[in-house]
Amino acid sequence: MKTQRRNFIQKAGIIAASTAFLPNALWSATRRKKEKLGVALVGLGYYSTDLLASALQLTQHCALKGIVTGSPEKIPVWQQKYGIADKNVYDYKNFDSIANNPDIDVVYVVLPPSMHAEYTIRAAKAGKHVWCEKPMAPSVAACQSMIKACDSNKVKLAIGYRCQHDPNIQAYMKVGRERPFGKILMVNSAAGYFDGRTDHWKQSKALGGGAMGDMGVYALQGARLATGEEPISVLAQSYTTRPKVYDEVEETMMFQLEFPSGARAACQTSFGIPMNYLKISYEKGWLQMEPQSAYSGNKGVMSDGALIDYPIENQQAKQMDEDAVAILNNKDLLVPGQEGLRDIRVVEAIYKSAEKNCAINV
């Protein structure tokens, strides 16, 4: 396992010194406005291969134009399937030269979390807008460096929280804002699945693995979005039932949150327990979502009988289209880097609480 991880990191160019590069500022300043953005996927694992690439075929305002991979054997497959030109194919060493490619407007970073900051910063320096998968990065410091790089290079940074683009999630957020059932008292939020893999980056601490960062942000966002508040304290406990697999990171994390209004939340996430639900208890009623953060089929019901069930063709396509429109029109993104940072600030407190076995202020 350790040899495979070392080879992966070497292939991605983390150990090698990064290539110093200055973007073509003149080209960036004079390029004409496009009607459709060209997207390059960085990392061709499951999420890119099975979900993002196909979703890009459904978008109206962006298109799959490039790939960045350390696996040469994948290149002909992608080129044949999606018609990607030779000049739009990159590896991790020549990635910075993407700055000179007018076909590519957006770089979508779909790599293990430990690599998000490096490739977001390199993309920003190349003058490209960045979409970065969640979790944004393993630390607050890394998140801040990503935001700073994008701001300094005048490019936009969106975090891949597809759920916030889902009208079903937006519906319970609206209930939280309008409070038809009065004050929020308690939120129960859970997101997890059984992962049978035994040698994956999600089990590696060095690559940013662990249930909390991956699935835990969905449970955390369920509570944050339901209340519309940021937690002020956390109390957490982690455990592992498969120590031979999860010897570096947690398999399951349970955490309690306290919000400024007095609302509380009990949240769970796991790579060993299938669960996906949200229950919000108000003074005069309740709202329940199940599932709450699936790729499709998120739906809910309220205590007055009202249903939350808005069909959506493809979450990822809607996410990328809406982010593309914001970039094309120079508008605010729905889920900017600051939103990813807010989650990681809480995630850091959760890990600290689990380690010290006490409540931690956020």
Alpha helical stretches, state H, 14-115 = 25-30, 46, 53-56, 75-82
Cβ-based neighbour number of residue 268 at 10 Å: 20
Strands 129-132 and 157-159: parallel
What's phi and psi for 61, nearest 5 deg? -115, 5
Single-letter amino acid code for the residue at 307: L
Residues 223, 230: Cα–Cα separation, whole Å: 9
Residues 75, 84: Cα–Cα separation, whole Å: 9
CB neighbour class for 185 (10 Å; exposed up to 12, middle 13-18, buried from 19): middle
Spatial neighbors of 330 by CB under 8 A, at least 6 apart, are none
Spell 346-359 as b/e; 16+ CB within 10 A means b: bbbbbbebbeeeee
**Beta carbons of 263 and 229 less than 8 angstroms apart:** yes
Bridge partners (DSSP) listed for residue 286: 281
Q: Does residue 156 carry a catalytic annotation? A: no
From the list 65, 125, 128, 134, the catalytic residue is 134
Residues 281, 263: Cα–Cα separation, whole Å: 10
Q: Does residue 33 carry a catalytic annotation? A: no
From the list 90, 92, 218, 351, the catalytic residue is 218
Q: Which residues are catalytic?
A: 134, 218
